[in-house]
Structure 1
Amino acid sequence: MRSSPPGKSSDSRSASISTRISKATSPRVPGLSSPSALRRSVGPHSHLNNDARSDDDQHRTTLPPNPRMVVIQMKVRPRNIRNKLEAGERAYGFAVQLPSPDLVEIAGALGYDYAWIDAEHGSLGLSEIRELIRGADAAGMDSIVRVADHEPSFIQRVLDLGATGIMVPHVRTVDEAKAIAASVRYSPLGIRGACPSVRSVGHITTDWTEDYTRADADVLVFGLIEDIEGLVSVEAIARDGGLDGLVYGPFDLGMALGLDGDVSHPQLRAHHDRVAEACKAAGIEYVAASLEWEFGALNESGARIVTVAGDRGVVFSALSRALAEVRMAGTPATASHG
């Protein structure tokens, strides 16, 4: 899977990340100069012998027990998709349009690897997105947010909330893809705004070098090919756009082609194959959406990231089936009134 930003080779980017990781130093908690100072100030006996300690040391005793570990636990999140791909396995996801963290947690309990949070068509604002990401974190799932457009400021806010990555609709050109790839990484690799006090770093950073280096290395960015212009340029977008993968959007493309939403039309299947082949040739991921006919061709398409189902469809299907089964069981006998 390629994740190099525009203008950077994967080798040079890896070297840059490795260099910055090596520069990551000891825990940086305000007022503490070293791990030993941290242990002295917040250890189990820190309340003893205050008269023998400096004013600065006594001030440090007001810190909560091991604050850095609390922050680290808050910002260490699943890395399911990358881990599965590195192990040669598929990652399976669940699409979410409804603002229900409970559904996300249920999906995680059933073994899904990621939540695809749909902020383009779903009824979700930033507060709802945050709670769905939090639900994914709690369930041990990655969170991929499909944003509504290419706006870098909104992409930044979603990533600051702790999303694993983003999915961007209507990618039509190489330049658009490059701009999207730049929006998810910090300078000098991209243009993402930096802030040391956001949820993605545990609400307050204790080692900014480590935090932004990890974020640049782990973030995932996918683009949707769902327009005629994007289809025409798909090989170049896959090869030169700097994205981690592409998703095929047959519904919008079908509307543009005058097929009225018939996602199983042979023409749309042929275009699907073109997108998948472009990903293979470029060495990036093809991400399969929740289309039944596509599931039968996962090996052919090379899809290793598969969105299996969505909340609306699952709820609709389950409720319809349950009602039909009860109706088929017959009408209860009329109660006798003596």
Structure 2
Amino acid sequence: MNSFKEKIKNNQFVLGTMLSEISSPNIARMLKVGGFEYLIIDCEHGYFDYSQTAAIIGVANGIHLPVIIRIPEIRRELITKYMDMGASGLLVPMTGTKEDIEIVVKYAKYMPIGQRGVSTQRAHSEYNPPALADYFVEANNKTIIFAQIETCEGVSNIQDILSVEGVDAAIIGPNDMACDCGTPGDFNSPKMQENIDTVIAAAKAAGKPSGIISGNIPFLKECQEKGMTVFSCNSEVGMIISGAKSIVNAFQLVGSDPHSAKV
């Protein structure tokens, strides 16, 4: 079976979900049982601290569930800590320029691609790294960098963003993009659709995949039909609320049917 990164590189369909609030490490086990292929921990909007994030990554690595961290900002300290925890990679929100993503690659990848700080007897190497030169190659090959395109600026610079060595895919954030297009909540406006098509076309031209994050499954399917292959659908919060409503609605329907009662 291909590794997660190989599937991405080969433009194969991958489906993950977002972790928004629940910090119990075993949430990773639950989501894998559900069939998700990877997990995004939202450290941009979520309030996970370092210890909680490290614990989730630790469990996920033990069950071979890749974890991508959506970073709160482009900063060396954050990138170094998340990568040293053993994260599979990073999702960079509001990527607007080539320079934005170059900084992330610089701090997330070892030489000769980047300048990641070296501290190898840690979780990311299972506390047992091979020879340093060998480990640099191994780690660089495994590390995943997603540029999250959420603005018209990012769309206009998408070719330059995807040209950066070490960037694996362009992932659209539709909520913020729709706001930037002046149509909050409307993913089907002409400008929004034009932006989506532009990102897909640029990714194909660069030989890299594109993807999107949304809880709207029909919308995700439309994007898949257009050529996207990397998807993150919903979150643990969304699934809990949806599941709860489904149970309550089903119970109310049964309770309202006079013929449903058993004697």
Alignment TM-score > 0.5, same fold: yes
* Deviation of the 1:240 alpha carbon: 4.2
Contact 1:105-1:138 within 8 A present in 2 as well: no
- Residue 96 of structure 2 is matched in structure 1 by 172
SS in 2 for 1:297: helix
Q: In the aligned structure 2, how far is the partner of 1:274 from the partner of 1:203?
A: 43
- Residue 132 of structure 1 is matched in structure 2 by 56
- Residue 235 of structure 1 is matched in structure 2 by 159
Which stretches in structure 1 are left out of the alignment for 5+ residues? Answer: 1-77, 334-338
Contact 1:105-1:135 within 8 A present in 2 as well: yes
SS in 1 for 2:148: strand
**One-letter amino acid of the counterpart of residue 184, structure 1:** A
- Residue 203 of structure 2 is matched in structure 1 by 279
Structure exhibiting the larger radius of gyration computed from Cα positions: 1
SS in 1 for 2:160: helix
**One-letter amino acid of the counterpart of residue 148, structure 1:** P
Task: Choose the corresponding residue for 1:201, options 125, 137, 158.
Answer: 125
**One-letter amino acid of the counterpart of residue 297, structure 1:** E
* Deviation of the 1:144 alpha carbon: 0.8
* Deviation of the 1:125 alpha carbon: 1.5
SS in 2 for 1:217: helix
Q: CA deviation digits over 1:298-328, x for unaligned, max 9?
A: 4443222222332111111001111111122
Identity score, percent: 23
Q: Over aligned residue pairs, what C-alpha RMSD do you find?
A: 2.4
* Deviation of the 1:207 alpha carbon: 3.3
SS in 1 for 2:109: coil
- Residue 251 of structure 2 is matched in structure 1 by 326
**What TM-score do the two structures reach when normalised by structure 2?**
0.87
Which stretches in structure 2 are left out of the alignment for 5+ residues? Answer: 259-263
Correspondences of 1:132-171 after superposition (within 5 Å): 132-171=56-95
SS in 2 for 1:246: strand
**One-letter amino acid of the counterpart of residue 18, structure 2:** A
* Deviation of the 1:268 alpha carbon: 1.5
2:17 pairs with 1:90: no
Q: In the aligned structure 1, how far is the partner of 2:147 from the partner of 2:179?
A: 19
Distance 1:217 1:240, change over 3 A: closer
Contact 1:80-1:114 within 8 A present in 2 as well: no
Q: In the aligned structure 1, how far is the partner of 2:139 from the partner of 2:90?
A: 13
Distance 1:268 1:121, change over 3 A: same
* Deviation of the 1:177 alpha carbon: 1.9
Distance 1:87 1:261, change over 3 A: closer
Q: In the aligned structure 1, how far is the partner of 2:223 from the partner of 2:93?
A: 22
Contact 1:79-1:142 within 8 A present in 2 as well: no
* Deviation of the 1:105 alpha carbon: 0.7
* Deviation of the 1:130 alpha carbon: 1.0
* Deviation of the 1:193 alpha carbon: 0.4
- Residue 183 of structure 1 is matched in structure 2 by 107
Contact 2:170-2:211 within 8 A present in 1 as well: yes
Q: CA deviation digits over 1:158-178, x for unaligned, max 9?
A: 010001110111111112222
- Residue 72 of structure 1 is matched in structure 2 by none
Q: CA deviation digits over 1:111-136, x for unaligned, max 9?
A: 32111111111221111111221222
**One-letter amino acid of the counterpart of residue 85, structure 2:** L
Q: In the aligned structure 2, how far is the partner of 1:119 from the partner of 1:187?
A: 26
2:217 pairs with 1:308: no
Q: In the aligned structure 2, how far is the partner of 1:250 from the partner of 1:316?
A: 21
